Chain A
Amino acid sequence: MTEHDHDHDHDRTVAPMVDEITDFEVLEIALRELCIEKGIFTAEEHRLMTEFAEQIGPTPAAHLVAKAWLDPEFKKLALAEPMTASKEVGVDWLHPTGWGTPSDFTAFQILADTPTVHNVIVCALCSCYPRPILGNSPEWYRTPNYRRRLVRWPRQVLAEFGLYLPDEITVHVQDSNQKHRFMVMPMRPEGTDDWTEDQLVEILTRDCLIGVALPKAGVKTNMITDTRPAIHPGNAG
């Protein structure tokens, strides 16, 4: 068979690409090559870390919570031994180096919501996040705006995500750091009786596991939230 002796249409099957070299692409390669040449890290170390960054995502965390909703014994395990429970959804916190990534191998704790306490995570210092089980943090999680304001005015910040909590619910803001990572286990919502694990996973979006949203039957995507400049309520109006 010759190279094009087949009957599909390349125009229809190949997704469009940016077909020019951008300065940012060149800069990324330049920094990486110079660091490798200076012996700061090796190409193999970089490849390993990049592979890790590409394969992580929020799905294991969603499975962990769905399993806990369905199995009280697993919930106990998840709260008592979160790293052991993580392995049951395919996440080994020691990957990829044997001691985790430099900024990720830490103590890990799962914060279970109750009818009177709502948990939400932040890293006021930088952007520590439970990456092995929840993937890379969203852009807004990294902003000083979210980090600074959530710890001061949690209800206002949550309201910006569309989450309005009544006064009788205590908001517990958990600050992450380089030694401790957290994720939220929300309560199982109404209307999900008899659902399978896979059905439950669909509504356990990343934002629910950070604590800026609550799972709801029928809602399967994270809310799109534009980052915005910090507003000091004392100066508003």
Chain B
Amino acid sequence: MSAGGGGIEHLEIGALKNIVERGQVWSRMAAKWGVENPVPPWKTSLDGMCDALDQAACDAEVPDFKERRDEEDLLSATVYSNLPYPENQLVSLAHSLMARGVIDEAELKQRLTRIRARLEA
């Protein structure tokens, strides 16, 4: 993770960059598997997570509703502008939480590996 100065959009987060580059966005995956659902199955869980975070926003590092949405808009228009919705919402949220130090990139990387292994077991 490296910051090039300025706002959070200048922070480069390798773990997220890899995900963006692999490009497993829902529109592509749905077309590949012949699925017609307009949004990915994790969308409502992401909505639930955003609501749960908004409720917890009294913690200093956790962005409140407006900060979260402002950062999502900024990141979706810049560093994640090639991602569709809701992938840009998810990745922007991850970026915000790491930029604020709520989650550490190393622990996220480790967790991504563990969860993938668990789901593919």
Contacts and interface: CB of A to CB of B under 8 A. Distances in A.
A40 B115 contact: no
21 contacts: A18-B29, A20-B29, A21-B120, A23-B18, A24-B87, A24-B90, A25-B119, A26-B116, A30-B111, A30-B112, A34-B111, A35-B52, A35-B53, A41-B56, A46-B45, A53-B44, A101-B51, A102-B51, A102-B57, A103-B51, A126-B65
Contacts, number: 148
Nearest to A43: B52
A126 B44 contact: no
Contact of A102 (B24, B54, B94): B54
Contact of B91 (A21, A27, A34): A27
Interface residues of B, number: 53
Contact of A33 (B24, B30, B53, B115): B115
A196 B91 CA distance: 45
Given A30-B111, A31-B94, A49 B47 contact: yes
A40 B119 contact: no
B97 to A, nearest CB: 7
Interface residues of A, number: 46
Interface string B7-44: 00000000000110010111001101111000011101
Interface string A32-66: 11110010110001111111111000000000000
B76 to A, nearest CB: 9
Q: Does more than half of chain A's interface fall in helix, strand or loop, or is it mixed? A: helix
A20 B91 CA distance: 20
Contacts of A35: 49, 52-53, 97, 102-103
Interface of B: 18-19, 22, 24-26, 29-30, 32-35, 40-42, 44-49, 51-57, 59, 62, 65-66, 69-70, 73, 77, 85, 87, 90-91, 93-94, 97, 102-103, 107-108, 111-112, 115-116, 119-120
Most buried by A among B22, B55, B103: B55
